[in-house]
């Protein structure tokens, strides 16, 4: 079978990065190609199939931004390492990595695919960042932006991300999880599993929670602190909750290995961001929550809002009052809320299944290979 080298961050635990999770799930579901993934020295192959090449040093790739020696290791492997039939890149395009990928592919004469894991800032000139034979985008909004900046549609493909199937929690299971995490069994529980620093989602969620009429509700802030500035952003939000008198009902979870349990026990999953700054177009945590039949609320005008078009989520105006009103409406319509969860689960199983997405990529690889 032809082999495909996945050029990405090290495909290794912890599974808290959407781009390497996508690599894991696509590579692990190939049927007509052999996957080769990049890992660390001494690491076992995380897929159990195909091969893993130890491109990264021990301990490398644990942060969200790769270090210089990480990038040098990847480039060295591309230029001097064993060849492959196709190279598949997974990263947010930027001038340096796009140029390196272009030069390496030309020197080795390898067909290339580039999945744009997150979109660059609006000021970036996308036309200058395209380097692969085919560029894959994850949303219509991303495709439209590339086209508007002069990239021909024939050079683009839209293949959505995927998510591993998760069990829908039963009522009894949700009760057990609330006991485990010391949360009230009958009170509404909201969860914000998003960014603290960018997109405005954290602030909108806190404002919406303050504006809510339910004084017994609990808000879980399950946010990773990805940079040094995140601690300051969290402190500012904590001060707001204290001024508004809601601080006793807001729990700062931070990064947690129990995110799936917290999603399962929550009544509403909130990602009302104004932009997907440095995030995957469709947040994987939103897809995971939808797979568990949880009601998900997303910000209008973002790529993630496309998930609402098939009825699997709700897109709202990005302000706290709109968020509070949307949740109040859902809370008063139990049947409608349950129907939303059922549609969300069906959508993820039918449209965002790893095998389905992997098949779309394999068809793309096969169209490229005869060009060699």
Q: What is the DSSP string of 221-240?
A: E-----STHHHHHHHHHHHH
Domain with CATH 3.40.50.2000 in the chain: 3-162+353-371, 171-351
Distances 303 to 136, 231, 340 between C-alpha atoms, Å = 15, 27, 19
Find the range with the poorest average confidence among 223-227, 233-237, 245-249, 254-258.
Answer: 223-227
Between 226 and 15, whose confidence is greater? 15
265 contacts: CB under 8 Å, gap ≥ 6: 169, 174, 177, 178, 181, 183, 189
| Structural Rg of the chain based on CA atoms | 21
To the nearest whole percent, how much of the chain has pLDDT over 70?
97
The architecture of the domain spanning 171-351 is: 3-Layer(aba) Sandwich (3.40)
| pLDDT above 80 (res 370) | no
Residue 116 forms beta bridges with which residues?
91
Cis peptide before 14 (omega within 30 of 0): yes
pLDDT for 372 equals: 47
List the CATH code of the domain at 3-162+353-371.
Answer: 3.40.50.2000
Distances 44 to 48, 57, 97, 329 between C-alpha atoms, Å = 9, 14, 27, 49
Counting beta carbons within 10 angstroms of the beta carbon of residue 43, is it exposed (0 to 12), middle (13 to 18) or buried (19 or more)? middle
The answer to whether 8 and 91 have CB atoms below 8 angstroms apart is yes
pLDDT digits (tens, 9 = 90+) for 147-179: 999 999 999 999 999 999 999 999 999 999 999
Rounded CA-CA distance 297/192 in Å is 10
| Six token digits for residue 308 | 């609402």
Q: How confident is the model at residue 25 (pLDDT cuts 50, 70, 90)?
A: very high
The answer to whether 249 and 234 have CB atoms below 8 angstroms apart is no
pLDDT for 63 equals: 53
Q: How confident is the model at residue 83 (pLDDT cuts 50, 70, 90)?
A: confident
What integer is the mean pLDDT of 137-154?
A: 95
Per mean pLDDT, which of 43-52, 121-130, 266-275 is the most reliable?
266-275
pTM for this entry: 0.92
Residue located via tokens 């069906």:
346
What integer is the mean pLDDT of 295-316?
A: 95
| pLDDT above 60 (res 243) | yes
| pLDDT above 90 (res 72) | no
């Amino acid at each position: 079978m032809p082999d495909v080298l996945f050029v990405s961050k090290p495909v290794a635990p912890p599974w808290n990065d959407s781009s390497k999770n996508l690599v894991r799930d696509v590579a692990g579901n190939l049927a007509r190609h052999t996957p080769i993934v990049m890992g660390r020295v001494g690491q076992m192959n995380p897929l159990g199939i195909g091969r893993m090449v130890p491109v990264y040093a021990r301990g490398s790739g644990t942060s969200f931004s790769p270090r210089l020696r990480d990038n040098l290791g990847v480039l060295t492997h591309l230029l001097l390492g064993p060849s492959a039939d196709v190279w598949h890149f997974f990263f947010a395009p930027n001038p340096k990595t796009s140029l390196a990928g272009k030069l390496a592919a030309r020197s080795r004469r390898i067909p290339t695919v580039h999945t744009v894991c997150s979109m660059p800032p609006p000021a970036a000139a996308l036309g200058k960042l395209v380097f692969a034979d085919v560029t894959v985008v994850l949303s219509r909004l991303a495709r439209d932006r590339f086209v508007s900046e002069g990239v021909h549609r024939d050079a683009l493909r839209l293949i959505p991300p995927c998510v591993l199937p998760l069990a829908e929690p039963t009522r009894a299971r949700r009760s057990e999880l609330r006991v485990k995490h010391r949360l009230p069994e009958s009170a509404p529980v909201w969860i914000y599993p998003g960014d603290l620093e960018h997109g405005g989602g954290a602030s909108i969620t806190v404002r919406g929670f303050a504006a809510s009429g339910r004084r017994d509700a609990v808000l879980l802030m399950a946010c990773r602190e990805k940079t040094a500035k995140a601690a300051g952003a969290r402190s500012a939000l904590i001060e707001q909750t204290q001024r508004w008198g809601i601080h006793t009902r807001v729990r700062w979870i931070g990064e947690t290995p129990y995110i799936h349990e917290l999603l399962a026990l929550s009544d509403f999953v909130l990602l009302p961001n104004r932009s997907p700054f440095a995030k995957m177009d469709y947040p994987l945590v939103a897809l995971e929550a939808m797979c568990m039949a949880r009601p998900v609320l997303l910000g209008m005008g973002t790529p993630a809002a496309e998930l609402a078009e098939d009825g699997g989520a709700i897109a709202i105006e990005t302000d706290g009052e709109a968020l509070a009103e949307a949740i109040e409406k859902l809370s008063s319509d139990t049947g409608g809320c349950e129907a939303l969860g059922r549609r969300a689960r069906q959508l993820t199983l039918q449209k965002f299944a790893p095998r389905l997405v992997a098949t779309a990529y394999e068809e793309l690889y096969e169209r490229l290979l005869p060009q060699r």
